[in-house]
């Protein structure tokens, strides 16, 4: 058997990486499996924001409103952190499997998202 015959049936590692079909290719995002929990969490946060509007409308003491603002901000930050973790586990991991320029783009994208979160 020649080396060409031996290698003819085995795809190259580059071909294998591009032939991999993942959930991400099917349009399934990292948060998909937690979607209902995320929506429930966002509805609670929305309720907190509406509560802030009501507090201002009812002339509640400033410090009490600020306390609720802080709680709402923490809730959003916690949600963002969970979403970022899911992005890293799903989207960035998917790009790592595929390799090439896609991994660099996903890592850059995640790094920029982290930078935005740190500025707030």
Pick the closest to residue 9 from 18, 107, 1, 94 (CA basis).
1
On the question of pLDDT at 23 being above 70, the answer is no
> What pTM, to 2 d.p., does this model score?
0.69
93 vs 9, more confident: 93
Res. 28: pLDDT tops 80: no
Which residues, at least 6 apart from 80, have a Cβ–Cβ distance to it below 8 Å?
A: 117
**Alpha carbon distances (Å) from 35 to 24, 44, 45:** 15, 14, 15
The answer to whether the CB of 95 falls within 8 A of the CB of 103 is yes
Nearest 5°: the CA angle 76, 113, 80 is 20
Q: Is the pLDDT of residue 55 over 90?
A: yes
pLDDT for 18 beyond 80 = no
In the predicted structure, residue 7 carries a pLDDT above the cut 60? no
Q: What is the pLDDT of residue 8?
A: 43
Q: What is the pLDDT of residue 93?
A: 87
Residue 68 is predicted with a pLDDT of 97
Three-class secondary structure of residue 30 per DSSP: coil
């Amino acid at each position: 058997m020649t080396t060409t015959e031996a290698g003819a049936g085995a795809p190259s590692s580059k071909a294998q990486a591009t032939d991999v079909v993942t959930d991400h290719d099917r349009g399934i995002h990292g948060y998909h499996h937690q979607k209902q929990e995320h929506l429930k969490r966002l509805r609670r946060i929305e309720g907190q924001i509406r509560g802030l509007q009501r507090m201002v409308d009812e002339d509640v003491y400033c410090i009490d409103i600020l306390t609720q603002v802080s709680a709402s901000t923490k809730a959003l930050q916690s949600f963002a952190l969970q979403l970022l973790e899911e992005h890293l586990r799903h989207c960035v991991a998917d790009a790592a499997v595929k390799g090439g320029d896609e991994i660099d783009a996903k890592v850059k994208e995640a790094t920029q998202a982290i930078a935005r979160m740190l500025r707030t």
